[in-house]
Amino acid sequence: MGVRVAGVVGCSQSLRVASNLVLGDSRAHLKVSDIHAPKDSSRARQSRSGTFSWIEQTAPRTLSLPLGIHVRGNERHHEGRVGACEAVGGIAHEIKVCTQKACRKSGSLQTLDVLRSLAPSDVAVDSCGCLGKCGSGPNLVVLPGQLIVSHCSTAAHAARLMDLQCGAADPATNLKALGLKEQGNKCFENGDLARAEKSYSEAIELKPSGGLHFIYGNRSAARLAMGDSDGALEDAAQAAILAPSWSGSHLRKADAFVQRGDFVNAKKSCSRALQLDPALRRSKSLQAKLKQIEESLELQRVNS
């Protein structure tokens, strides 16, 4: 799941994705900027030229892939640094991004956020420890297959990675949708709910192959804040259909049910979210929400 920002799922760390996106224009497009260019000048040139390094854990070889991406397979895998991808919960691929000191300086936290936002529902994205390629970051590994990727430093790189390795086709459209979602997030934070809903709707109309469930979840939050509990519930339900294993859609449903006074279904939605993500039991906000729901249910029983 992406980072939650004021009730919406988005990218933190001041990601510069859509610097010249024009809403309401059929020619709208976005200019993708580097998240962080590596300090070394040669690496910076490599990153800006739209290439990044692939090191596959197999016998030495060199492959040519589209879009100027190069694969080299002569590196030793560092056992114990990352785990194997388990085919559970509908997860087909897993991406682990190194967030140790050297990679953080190269922008790995921003890369992590972008990958989370662009990921299809069957791709899990998380952080990990050092992958042994210090100085070539941001580094990440794609599982299964143990494919290590270096210099994945821009939103464009992340979108192409999702396309080539995880089946998120049409990276240009995915980036446009991401830019619209980020614009919607800013509007949401500034209290401009109508414009936020409009930005999310335009992103949804693009039908991106990755991250669509997050956008529905964000529009659900915007509609709920506008008092449209029916629309919020509809969007949350659609997010759950697109990504059955995402707990966030059920939390959105719970919020909509609470606003409608349907505390029975609100409690069921929270329970489903906890089943999908047991770590939510440590969430103070969810504990407070469950307490509110229980108190409301008790009040309904007393008054019935």
Could you report the per-residue pLDDT of 79-137, keeping only the tens digit for each?
A: 333 443 344 457 788 999 999 888 988 888 999 988 988 888 888 888 998 888 788 88
First to last CA, the chain: 40
CB 236 within 8 A of CB 259: no
Q: How many CA atoms lie within 13 A of 280 on its CB side?
A: 22
Q: Which residues pair with 55 in a beta bridge?
A: 72, 148
Q: pTM, whole model, 2 decimals?
A: 0.70
Could you report the per-residue pLDDT of 124-173, keeping only the tens digit for each?
A: 888 998 888 788 888 899 888 788 888 888 888 888 988 888 888 889 99
Mean of the per-residue pLDDT values of the chain:
75
Could you report the per-residue pLDDT of 262-273, keeping only the tens digit for each?
A: 999 999 999 999
Q: Tell me the Cα Rg of the chain.
A: 20
Q: Which two tokens stand for residue 129?
A: 């420890």
Task: Identify the structural domains of the chain with CATH numbers, from first to last.
Answer: 4-9+172-303 (1.25.40.10), 11-166 (3.40.30.10)
pLDDT at position 303 is 87
